[in-house]
Amino acid sequence: MAMTGVLRPGHAVIRVLDLEESVDFYTNVMGLKETGRDKNDRVYFKCNDEHDHNSFVIRKSDRAGLDHFGFKVLNKATLDTLEGRLREYGVATERVPAGEMLETGERVRFQIPTGHMIELYADKTGVGNGLGQINPEAWLENQKGINPIRMDHCLIYGGDIDGNRKLFEEVLDFSLVERVKLEDGETDLATWLTCSPKAHDIAMVRHPEDGKLHHVSFMLESWEQVLRAADIMSMHRVSIDMGPTRHGITRGTTIYFFDPSGNRMETFCGGYQWYPDLPPTTWTWDEVGRGIFYHDRKLNDAFLGVVT
Ligand SMILES: [Fe+2]
């Protein structure tokens, strides 16, 4: 097997202000499938082509934002190894027992230098994508809403993104794919990291306040699906932040929009394939607008300022 270690983003757990309004939004507008609720009033969802029980979880709170972001690792031995490496590196880890999240095995939780809580886990119950594993059809009929394929990545905001990058690279074997430099040409404003052949699995932007969420992103199959997603957002009067457009960075096409609690979400498609022999791409400060929004070639105020 060529892929080992951390496999992919596995779950995002976010806070919402009104649980039922959010369930309606994520079910009927986003088109996620509700897969369960737990005694802590968390509601679990999966996307159309995901096989595991859940990838997106909402919890009622008096403030929006990200509780934690989880990555699935290859197996239990990998989980143990990575926990050992985290501790050796000086990161305190906590074991969250199996079942604390529905249908999810034991998790290793730790705080990264920007204050975000990250989790690793090896097991989540497979419920399938509804198509079966023997002679499947190509897609499910009669799906609701935007109907993304998978929860794909997140972008987080915080202070010590250099410390984050070092930890993700040196302990979890992530690689730097793209970066944006500040005016001094030295300091990173933002970095895009991957643990897979995707152009990014997590990204981070330097920001004065730690622990902030910029967006959780959901993958669609085509640019046409991105346009269709924008139509559905308009039909449901969803607050759109930007798009449909393209990022220069990763070359993905995108829409940024807000859920009813003000959490920014993204629906996107595309982006190139990454392999370990590809050197990182750098964007200079004078071209940051084109890097983030390739067509407008300038940042909107919300991109840098509005986080939860
Ligand atoms: Fe994104």
- What is the reported pLDDT for 301? 78
List 11, 53, 116, 247, catalytic entry: 247
What's residue 169's pLDDT?
98
pLDDT value of residue 240? 95
Q: How far apart are CA 267 and CA 148, in angstroms?
A: 8
Catalytic residue among 11, 153, 207, 214: 153
Look at residue 304 in the predicted model and tell me its pLDDT. 77
What distance in Å separates the CA atoms of residue 131 and residue 240, rounded to the nearest whole number?
32
Q: Kindly give the distance from the C-alpha atom of residue 256 to the centroid of ligand 1, in angstroms, as a whole number.
A: 8
The pTM score is 0.97
- List 156's β-bridge partners, or say none: 204, 213
Cα 249 to averaged position of ligand 1 atoms, centre (Å): 10
How many A from CA of 199 to the centre of ligand 1? 10
**How much distance in Å is there from the Cα of 167 to the middle of ligand 1?**
21
CA of 279 to the centre of ligand 1 (A): 20
Rounded to the nearest whole angstrom, what is the distance from the C-alpha of residue 36 to the centroid of ligand 1? 26
Q: Is 200 a catalytic residue?
A: yes
How far does residue 182's CA lie from ligand 1's centre (Å)?
Answer: 20
Q: Which residues contact 189 (CB under 8 A, 6 or more apart)?
A: 180, 181, 182, 205, 206, 285, 288
pLDDT of residue 268: 96
Tell the burial category of 131 from Cβ atoms under 10 Å away from its Cβ (0-12, 13-18, 19+).
middle
CA of 135 to the centre of ligand 1 (A): 33
Q: Decide if 181 contacts 159 (C-beta within 8 A).
A: no
Kindly name the residue from 50, 103, 119, 266 that is annotated as catalytic: 266
pLDDT at res. 300: 82
pLDDT tens for the chain, residues 1 to 308: 678 999 999 999 999 999 999 999 999 999 999 999 999 999 999 999 999 999 999 999 999 999 999 999 999 999 999 999 999 999 999 999 999 999 999 999 999 999 999 999 999 999 999 999 999 999 999 899 999 999 999 999 999 999 999 999 999 999 999 999 999 999 999 999 999 999 999 999 999 999 999 999 999 999 999 999 999 999 999 999 998 999 999 999 999 999 999 999 999 999 999 999 999 999 999 999 999 899 989 888 787 778 99
pLDDT at residue 11 in the model: 98
The reply to whether 247 belongs to the active site is yes
Q: How far is the CA of 139 from the centre of ligand 1 (A)?
A: 24
Active site residue 256: yes
Choosing from 53, 68, 116, 215, the catalytic residue is: 215
Cα separation, 104 vs 288, in Å, equals: 39
Question: Exactly one of 26, 121, 157, 256 is catalytic; which is it?
Answer: 256
What residues sit around ligand 1, an ion, with C-beta below 5 angstroms?
217, 266
Q: Which of 68, 200, 207, 214 is catalytic?
A: 200
For residue 156, the model assigns a pLDDT of 98
